[in-house]
Amino acid sequence: MLAWTIYISFLGAAALMFLPGGNARLARIIALLAALGGLACAAAGVAQCARHAGPGALTDVVNWPWIAELGVRFHLAADGISLVLVLLTGIAAVAGVLFSWNVEERCREFFALYLALIGGVYGVFLSFDLFLLFVFYELAIIPKYFLIAIWGSTDREYGAMKLALYSFVGSAMVLVGLIAAYVVSGAKSFEWVDLARGPYPAAFQYWAFPVVFVGFAILAGLWPFHTWAPTGHVAAPTAASMLLAGVVMKLGAYGALRVAMTLFPIGLHAWQDTMAALAVVGIVYGALVALVQQDFKFVIGYSSVSHMGFVLLGLMTLTQIGFSGAVLQMFSHGIIAGLLFAVVGRMVYDRTHTRDLAQLQPMNLHQVLPFAATTFIIAGAASAGFPGFSGFVAELQVLVGAWKSFPWLAVLAAAGVLVGIAYTWRVLLKAFFAEGAVDRRDLPRLEPISAPERAGALLLLGTTVIIGLWPGLLLGLIAPALDSPLLQPLWKGGAR
Amino acid sequence: MNSIPILTILTFLPLAGGAVAALLGPQRQRAGRNLAMAVSLLTLAAAAALWAAFDHSRGGMQFVERARWVPSLGIEYHLGVDGLGLLMVLLSALVVPFALLASWDIRENPKLYFSLALFVEAGLMGTFTAQNFIHWFVFWELSLIPAFFLIKIWGGPRRTAAAYQFFVYTMAGSVAMLAAFLAIYAAAGAFEFGQLSDLARRGGLFAGRAMLAGAVFAGIFLGLAVKVPLVPFHTWLPAAYTEAPTGTAMLLTGAMSKMGVYGFLRILLPIFPAQMQALETPLLWLAAATIVFPAAAALAQKDLKRMVAYSSINHLGYCMLGIFAAAQLAGPGAEGVNNKAAALNGVILQMFNHGLTASALFYFVGLIEQRGGGLRGLNDFGGLRRAAPVFCGLMGVALMASLGLPGLNGFPGEFLIFKGVLPLAGWAAAISTLGLLLTAVFLLTILQRVFSGPLPERWSRWPDLTAGERWALAPVIALIFALGVFPQWLAGVSNPAVLQLMKLF
Amino acid sequence: MNPFLECLTALAPEIIVVSTALIVLLADLAMAGGKPVARRAGLAGAITCLGCALAMAWAGLMPCSAHVAMLAVSPVTQWLKLTLLLLTIFAAALSWGGRFTRHVGEYFALLLLAAAGLMLLVSSDNLLLIFVALELLSVSLYALAAFDKSSAASAEAALKYLLFGGMSAAFTLYGISLIYGITGDLQLGYIAARLRGQPAEPVFYAGLVMTLIGFAFKLAAAPFHLWAPDVYEGAPTPVASFIASGSKVASFFVLARILLTAFPAARGTAAASDYQAGWVPVLAALAAVSMVAGNVAAIVQSNVKRLLAYSAIAHAGYALLALVADARHTLAALLFYTITYAFTVLGAFAVVAVMEQSGRRGNLADFEGLGRRAPVLSFCMLVFMLSLAGIPPLAGFFGKFYLFVAAAAAAPPLSLLWLVVLAVAASAVSLYYYLQVLKQIYAVAPSPTAAWPRPALSAQAAIVLLAGIVIVLGCAPDLLLGKITDLLRSHPF
């Protein structure tokens, strides 16, 4: 069932390419159907697999021989972590299509590229053969490039190229590590299960781990390799930035977890402190820079870097609770970032054609676009980690895990949360609330929020609230996955 | 216990009502307002049902609701009320409709105003029924944000600065409280109030680490002290209350200020009795300062609303006096027990009664401002008694109740507090009587300047209370009288809770 | 069997091809005279394709294994000839619509002769015959490069090609003669036997290096690549496509054969920790320089053909990795890589050829907005560019991946990691300039005055077919790889 998420997305993309050009309506509907189909398959798959969840249970979805020469198989499977992320992709995909309802120019190419990207992302989360994972990972770079280069805004060609090159360099690093691991392990296959057994000599792991980890973490926005993220997010059209910040950055974190950390536990323990420190620097730096931005979208872009720092910190704590928080934060931030970019890009920028806070403030947008303001307030609260929304439990778990492993870093990360509240507050007030009283007549006349936008916003808001109130829904999937025997070497000597 | 989760209903009904009202389209202003009013009345009915079903003889938590939420972090969905909580819930349920009625004529986006007020109510209900810190903290913060917007959007001329100051101060305090509780969690692995106070009694909370315990105590103290407010953390209040629109000021003073005092009773006293006993003298000085200084400041004011704001701080100072005095005396001794019980009962009564009285006072000041065309200076009026006798009569009642006139509801609380504090900490009580005196002076000054004296020409056609306003005021005035004459309605509920509380330290 | 007959049977495909060349010349001469060029081209092209198809049929269907005269024909070489002929057919199909010459008969004849040279090149295991075949190929290509008389660039390209090629042929010949002097034989197997056990003399190394230089020139490996950009840009595009595809495949195979069969004793290693002199370090150095120089220079190009030339240099560098690693085990990777590369680059040049036929040139600016004007063509170009960059699921990705795995696995494991890292890094950088082309095609709006490309049916069919091959080989590489490994396992060198 789960494999159909990939197939439907790619079939949808292909179908869109064969549509006669110019029929935007049909293109949108096909795209929405494909996205909804993917979400339905994802949900059904999750429900099905959740019933069989045992410690480290791996549900095989598809397992076909592919390239006998190298021992590569077309192997799709899911454990709890994959299921959570697949669900995230489904929801984000549907929301993205809804928020792109107003794309008029070259509509079918836009949605074809969009669906191809979604298909690639599904593929990464479901692949348990590392060659296949790498194929999907690299495959996703090209649609990203075109989405930004063709439909983007500020500095789009530069932003697109920067993003593509950073991603490609990251995957080049992963390629080196992967090939080295294949050769050294002597395994005649690329299966995750086989490669994870190794064994790899410690000296090998000391360099292989940082190469592969950083290779993936570049896409996750690890400081100081994060510089593609703000430029890329700002340049991208709304749906692309929702996907980029919401889902694509999680590809990097997932890859780091699935490949780098599981394959090279000795290297992981050696580099744990360094990577954790970098993650915390990312949290604080991202938050501080977001605090002084004058461009609305840049604030959200840097806040994404800051939130991904939490994910990486959670992974580096090497405690079960930290991991749980990291995976939950991946889900939560995916939804919330989607919401925030949707408000900034679709609801505000598409109408006011400016992202400059100094220009937005006099417009007193909370009166003109109350739905946008309300959505942003709730999304901002969720982003700041307010309880009742999905981010709270995630960040709390990460902080608890960090406290066990690096108390001082946990304090810094908590300080980062405070700065997060500050910049969220600041941008909320500056973007939506004018200084003094504004005459009714001076307010700009903007078109009201359309139905697809409301639907998308409600979908995302509903998700973050539901998971915020019942985090057990996802925690119940994550916990058994963390008990997998293949993850055992990670915990050894983790919490000090 | 009960099959109907009434506490959950009390908390989420206003939340849902506020959400629905907010989501209605911008054309449906009146519908939204009516819906919000209906929801607040429904909540009041639910609170009344709670009162009726409450077993007044038992001291422990009733209507307990528990559900596991995030087991790995020790967070449970845990609600419960004892006498104290019940009274606070009832107070909130009474103040909110009152405040909404007072805001009926808001012209600018009333639907949003009413839904924000309902969110505040949800925050109040959640805080007063919480037995788990996370739950407490969520709703503590939840009440903060709508209050900020209420001040910022509908407030007076200097509302932006006032709102920011209010927000920043309260937020800073909350952050300190959160940090302290995270430290507690790191040490004890629990967020439950009951669990933590048991642990504290057995000495296992911060065994041996007195410095850490002190720091944690300071954090929680700070958070609560800003909310009450205690001098010197009170500087945000006069501006915020003055700039807030009438209904919001009623909410703030009537219910939200009680959250701080409640926090002292529910959290600080049971979990950190040793620290409170150790710091008894400085704390009493703070309480005394909170009684005397604001009263003196009120005397110097020329703005009616500001005077009432300062008087609000002063009245809550009595509550703090009672709490700090009761915290001392570790030993049992029957005398001590009686005095402590008296003081704490007084505190609870004072909380309830002040809530009613202060909100009524703000309402009256709001009416004065409305009828006076925006003026609310002390010296702007005079002789209104002749133009609007009913108005002045009822306002006089409220002023007298605030003063502590026997027979009105302000008296039993203050009396019990002094009765308990005098033997326990005589010097503090003595200083505090100064506050009583100053309060009397400025309240009577208001009476004199506004109601008596010559009636200026421009106020000669000062309209008296309309029918709607009379209906709004009637329940409150009635309660002011009734609770003055029959304080045992309240005391009967609070006493078992107080005795239960005293077992904890 | 009679050795002469054996020889004929072994050389049958080449004979067919040469005969076709003669037939084309005659046919053009006979039917020419007044008929429009397009018609004559069509006829000549048809005959060419027919002849090649016939040769393919013979090579494919008639199993042949012969070691007679100076030939060494085996199923591997026969199968390689199939591929080379297929590439020739594609090049011929491209040339059908070309209007750059009136001498169609001569053109196709030369093309066929070059193809014959290629086929001969892979069939031989004697240094002399190899050299002869190399010269046959080269001379044909020199002439073909000059065929566009209306363009000065074409003449310049051909002259450069001739001068460089002549010089490198001199190097090669001199090197071969030195080797002959030392070993006394020209047959690869015998050379190996003579060298075994003997300490290597400096003269031998000189000869070896000179031979390598000659081949490095043919492969356009830096620093012997200086002819490539000008020739690729100046020569008529179908010719450039043929140079880029066919001669690469054959040259790599021949180089592998020479080095593995004749000089295994002088291997040496290029491992980072354990250096030994030999031809391996030389190739490693060539590979490293090619990868870096090719990619860096390609970044600043504004003409697509030149860009493809520099990319060809880089790809030659990657392919040399396979020879640097233990080539016995990496030969399959080398063949897979060069064959898929040949098809891809042929396709890319085909697209450029189509653009030129519509009146545009090969500059980046000419590709503006192609995505909207010619979606099918643009999509095929997308496939080719991404395959060259190494993006899955295309053939180029798997080719590179397999190559890198094979190189990394060369015993002792990870000894060549430095070279693999360099290759991966260079490959990462290359995405930039391929995306530049694609950006022009898709992200830039078309200028309203530009002409619409109107590709001939044959060219369009060829392009789509090539794109299809690239995609299929990317998704199911076993189709090709399995065949290659089977052939090599049963018939090692």
**pLDDT at residue number C95:** 85
Nearest CA in chain C to A179: C405
Please judge whether B160 and A374 are an interchain contact, meaning their C-beta atoms are less than 8 angstroms apart: no
Model confidence at B171: pLDDT above 70: yes
Instruction: Give the mean pLDDT of B395-413.
Output: 90
Contacts of B68 in chain A (CB under 8 A): 472
- Look at residues C89, C104, C24 and name the one whose alpha carbon lies nearest to residue C461: C89
Which tens digit of pLDDT belongs to each residue from B421-461? 888 888 888 888 888 999 999 888 888 888 888 888 877 77
What does A169-212 look like in DSSP terms, one character per residue?
A: HHHHHHHHHHHHHHHHH--SS-BHHHHHH----HHHHHHHHHHH
Out of A388, A397, A435, whose CB is closest to B138?
A388
Which chains contact C through at least 3 pairs of Cβ atoms less than 8 Å apart?
Answer: A
Q: pLDDT exceeding 70 applies to what percent of chain B?
A: 97
Query: Which two tokens mark C327?
Result: 């080539």
Please judge whether A138 and C391 are an interchain contact, meaning their C-beta atoms are less than 8 angstroms apart: yes
Please judge whether C391 and A183 are an interchain contact, meaning their C-beta atoms are less than 8 angstroms apart: no
Out of C393, C421, C428, whose CB is closest to A135?
C393
| C273: confidence class by pLDDT, cuts 50, 70, 90 | low
Contacts of C478 in chain A (CB under 8 A): 66-69
| C45: confidence class by pLDDT, cuts 50, 70, 90 | confident
**pLDDT at residue number A495:** 40
From the number of C-beta atoms within 10 Å of its C-beta (0-12, 13-18, 19+), residue C448 rates as exposed
- Look at residues A124, A360, A349, A168 and name the one whose alpha carbon lies nearest to residue A259: A124
In C80-116, which positions are buried (b, 16+ CB within 10 angstroms) versus exposed (e)? bbbbbbbbbbbbbbbbbbbebbebbbbbbbbbbbbbb
Range of the domain at B469: 279-505
Is C394 an interface residue toward A (CB < 8 Å)?
A: no
Min Cα separation A46/chain C (Å): 28
Return the minimum-mean-pLDDT range out of A55-59, A337-341, C94-98, C421-425: A55-59
Is A175 an interface residue toward C (CB < 8 Å)?
A: yes
The total of structural domains in chain B comes to 1
**pLDDT at residue number C30:** 82
Is C425 an interface residue toward A (CB < 8 Å)?
A: yes
Residue B501 main-chain phi, psi, to 5 deg: -65, -40
Contact C287, C322 (CB under 8 A): no
Please judge whether C393 and A164 are an interchain contact, meaning their C-beta atoms are less than 8 angstroms apart: no
**pLDDT at residue number A325:** 92
Residues 443-472 in C contacting A (C-alpha not used; CB under 8 Å): 443
The total of structural domains in chain A comes to 1
Which tens digit of pLDDT belongs to each residue from A351-368? 888 888 888 888 888 878
**pLDDT at residue number A170:** 93
Which chains contact B through at least 3 pairs of Cβ atoms less than 8 Å apart?
Answer: A
Return the minimum-mean-pLDDT range out of B73-82, B348-357, C26-35, C393-402: C26-35
Please judge whether A183 and C402 are an interchain contact, meaning their C-beta atoms are less than 8 angstroms apart: no
Contacts of A172 in chain C (CB under 8 A): 424-425, 427-428
User: Does a structural domain hold residue A217?
Assistant: yes
Contacts of C409 in chain A (CB under 8 A): 182-183
**pLDDT at residue number B329:** 59
Is C402 an interface residue toward A (CB < 8 Å)?
A: yes
**pLDDT at residue number A56:** 66
**pLDDT at residue number C204:** 84
What does B330-360 look like in DSSP terms, one character per residue?
A: -S--HHHHHHHHHHHHHHHHHHHHHHHHHHH
User: Does a structural domain hold residue A308?
Assistant: yes
Nearest CA in chain A to C383: A142
Model confidence at C408: pLDDT above 90: no
Contact A310, A283 (CB under 8 A): yes
Is A19 an interface residue toward C (CB < 8 Å)?
A: no
Contact B387, B454 (CB under 8 A): no
Model confidence at B1: pLDDT above 50: no
A in contact with B (at least 3 C-beta pairs within 8 A) = yes
Which tens digit of pLDDT belongs to each residue from A452-493? 888 999 999 999 989 988 888 888 888 888 888 778 778 865
Range of the domain at A274: 3-491
Q: What whole-number distance in Å separates Cα of residue A132 and Cα of residue B53?
A: 64
**pLDDT at residue number A494:** 46
Q: Which of the two residues, B380 and C275, has the higher pLDDT score?
A: B380
| Per-block mean pLDDT, blocks of 10 residues, chain A (496 long) | 88 87 84 93 85 70 83 88 92 92 86 93 92 92 92 87 92 92 85 84 90 92 89 88 91 92 89 92 93 91 92 91 92 93 88 86 82 88 86 90 87 90 89 76 79 90 89 86 80 53
Min Cα separation A472/chain B (Å): 7
User: Does a structural domain hold residue B231?
Assistant: no
CB pairs under 8 A between A and C: 85
Which tens digit of pLDDT belongs to each residue from B105-152? 888 888 889 999 999 999 999 999 998 888 888 888 888 889 988 998
Residue A129 main-chain phi, psi, to 5 deg: -110, 125
- Three-state DSSP state, C29: helix
Instruction: Tell me which residue has tokens 């005269």.
Output: C69
What does C432-476 look like in DSSP terms, one character per residue?
A: HHHHHHHIIIIISPPPTTSPPP---HHHHHHHHHHHHHHHHHHH-
User: Does a structural domain hold residue B449?
Assistant: yes
ipTM exceeding cut-off 0.95 for this assembly: no
C in contact with A (at least 3 C-beta pairs within 8 A) = yes
Which tens digit of pLDDT belongs to each residue from B230-279? 988 899 999 999 999 999 999 999 889 999 999 999 888 888 888 888 88
Is B19 an interface residue toward A (CB < 8 Å)?
A: no
**pLDDT at residue number B180:** 87
| C33: confidence class by pLDDT, cuts 50, 70, 90 | low
User: Does a structural domain hold residue B335?
Assistant: yes
Residue C1 is inside which H or E element, if any?
Answer: none
User: Does a structural domain hold residue B266?
Assistant: no
**pLDDT at residue number B335:** 67
Please judge whether C427 and A70 are an interchain contact, meaning their C-beta atoms are less than 8 angstroms apart: no
Please judge whether B70 and A400 are an interchain contact, meaning their C-beta atoms are less than 8 angstroms apart: no
Residue C74 is inside which H or E element, if any?
Answer: none
Please judge whether C420 and A179 are an interchain contact, meaning their C-beta atoms are less than 8 angstroms apart: yes
Instruction: Give the mean pLDDT of B308-312.
Output: 92
Model confidence at C427: pLDDT above 80: yes
**pLDDT at residue number B228:** 87
Residues 336-375 in C contacting A (C-alpha not used; CB under 8 Å): none
Contacts of C413 in chain A (CB under 8 A): 183-184
CB pairs under 8 A between A and B: 43
Residue B80 is inside which H or E element, if any?
Answer: strand B75-81
Min Cα separation A69/chain C (Å): 7
Contacts of C438 in chain A (CB under 8 A): 146
Give ∠ CA A339-A340-A341 in degrees, rounded to 5.
Answer: 95
Instruction: Give the mean pLDDT of B290-317.
Output: 91
Contacts of A367 in chain B (CB under 8 A): 109
Please judge whether C481 and A67 are an interchain contact, meaning their C-beta atoms are less than 8 angstroms apart: yes
Q: Which of the two residues, B393 and C102, has the higher pLDDT score?
A: B393
Q: What whole-number distance in Å separates Cα of residue C138 and Cα of residue C158?
A: 11
User: Does a structural domain hold residue B25?
Assistant: no
User: Does a structural domain hold residue A496?
Assistant: no
**How confident is the prediction for chain A on average, in pLDDT?**
88
Model confidence at B22: pLDDT above 90: no
Nearest CA in chain B to A370: B26
Is C477 an interface residue toward A (CB < 8 Å)?
A: yes
